[in-house]
């Protein structure tokens, strides 16, 4: 794990996302903190494939699997299963590489 990923994961223990975090990382941070509405507002403004991946992840957390599948297709990613937090960390590592 690189230093940026470690710093992001450490920031999850604080009350705010890292000040310099890109918008999608802020969305992930809020999503990992259970702040779905804030995370969704940020993610839906990003039209990139990475934004679609974060959007898919958020809808999976919400339990809206049909909507999540749509966003995974837009992201050109397989529909994820398993632990939400682990997928969030995987997305963060991808965005920080």
Answer whether residue 29 is part of any domain.
Answer: yes
Instruction: Give yes or no for residue 7 having a pLDDT over 80.
Output: yes
- Please state the domain count of the chain: 1
Instruction: Kindly indicate the confidence band of residue 91, based on its pLDDT and cuts at 50, 70 and 90.
Output: very high
Q: How would you class 96 by CB atoms within 10 Å of its CB: exposed for 0-12, middle for 13-18, buried for 19 or more?
A: middle
80 in a structural domain = yes
Quote the DSSP letter at residue 80. P
**Domain encompassing residue 90:** 25-96
Higher pLDDT, 66 or 6: 66
Write the pLDDT tens digit of every residue in 60-86.
Answer: 999 999 999 999 999 999 999 999 999
Return d(Cα 56, Cα 73) in angstroms, integer: 9
| Cβ-contact 27, 54 below 8 angstroms | yes
Q: Say if CB 87 and CB 49 are below 8 A apart.
A: no
Specify the pLDDT at position 1.
Answer: 65
pLDDT of amino acid 12: 85
pLDDT by residue (tens digit) across 17-39? Answer: 887 789 999 999 999 999 999 99
Residue 11 lies in a domain: no
Asked if pLDDT for residue 2 goes beyond 90, the answer is no
Q: Are 12 and 32 in contact (CB under 8 A)?
A: yes
Residue 32: inside a domain, yes or no?
Answer: yes
């Amino acid at each position: 794990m690189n230093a940026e990923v470690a710093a992001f994961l450490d920031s999850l223990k604080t009350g705010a996302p890292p000040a310099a975090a890109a918008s999608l990382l802020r969305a992930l941070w809020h999503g990992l903190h259970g702040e779905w509405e804030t995370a969704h507002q940020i993610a839906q403004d990003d039209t990139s494939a990475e934004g679609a991946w974060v959007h898919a992840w958020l809808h999976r957390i919400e339990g809206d699997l049909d909507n999540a599948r749509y966003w995974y297709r837009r992201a050109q990613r397989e529909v994820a299963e398993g632990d939400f937090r682990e997928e969030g960390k995987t997305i963060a590592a991808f965005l920080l590489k």
